[in-house]
């Protein structure tokens, strides 16, 4: 038997909510805007990463790569630089949805 392709964990996808979809989960939105470092530690903990590694581009890129989410390092940097609270909330919403679906 000849293997012609390697299986991948997930087909390329998008984040399950948009960057500005804060109304999808108001509690996460409030949490992110009132205590962004706390939200960052919650996200890092769920991803089994160090809380001190930073919430911005590195965390988003690791997550995006792990779940084969479309994007680029440049886009991760720009989103994290210009709208870190929105980026963090989007990441938390996506983690929550993937947990509900059993794929996190």
What secondary structure does DSSP assign to 6-51, as a single string?
Answer: ---SS--B--SS-TT-GGGSHHHHHHHHH-HHHHHHHHHHHTT--G
Q: What is the pTM of this model?
A: 0.84
1 is a domain residue: no
Q: Specify if 57 maps to a domain.
A: yes
Measure the CA–CA gap between 15 and 13, rounded to whole angstroms: 7
When pLDDT is averaged across residues 5-34 and rounded to a whole number, the result is: 82
Total Cβ atoms within 10 A of residue 94:
20
Answer yes or no: is 2 within a domain: no
Task: Determine, yes or no, domain membership for 10.
Answer: no
Q: Is the residue at 32 inside a domain?
A: yes
Total domain count, the chain: 1
Give the C-alpha separation, 92 to 78, whole Å: 18
The answer to which of 48-52, 80-84, 91-95 has the lowest mean pLDDT is 48-52
CA pair distance 13, 3, nearest whole angstrom = 25
Range of the domain at 62: 24-101
Distance (Å, whole) CA 3 – CA 1 = 7
Query: Which of 8-12, 14-18, 78-82, 98-102 comes out lowest in average pLDDT?
Result: 8-12
Task: Please choose, from the candidates 7, 6, 12, the residue with its C-alpha nearest in 3D space to the C-alpha of residue 67.
Answer: 12
**Is 49 within the bounds of a domain?**
yes
């Amino acid at each position: 038997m000849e293997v012609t392709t390697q299986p991948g964990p997930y087909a390329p996808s998008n984040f399950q909510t948009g960057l500005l979809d804060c109304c999808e989960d108001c509690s996460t939105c409030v949490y992110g805007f009132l205590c962004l470092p706390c939200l960052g530690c919650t996200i890092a903990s769920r991803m089994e990463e160090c809380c001190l590694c930073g919430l911005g581009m590195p965390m988003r890129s690791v997550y995006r790569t792990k779940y084969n989410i479309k994007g680029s390092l440049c886009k991760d940097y720009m989103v994290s630089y210009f709208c870190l609270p929105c980026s963090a909330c989007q990441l938390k919403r996506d983690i929550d949805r993937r947990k509900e679906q059993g794929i996190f």
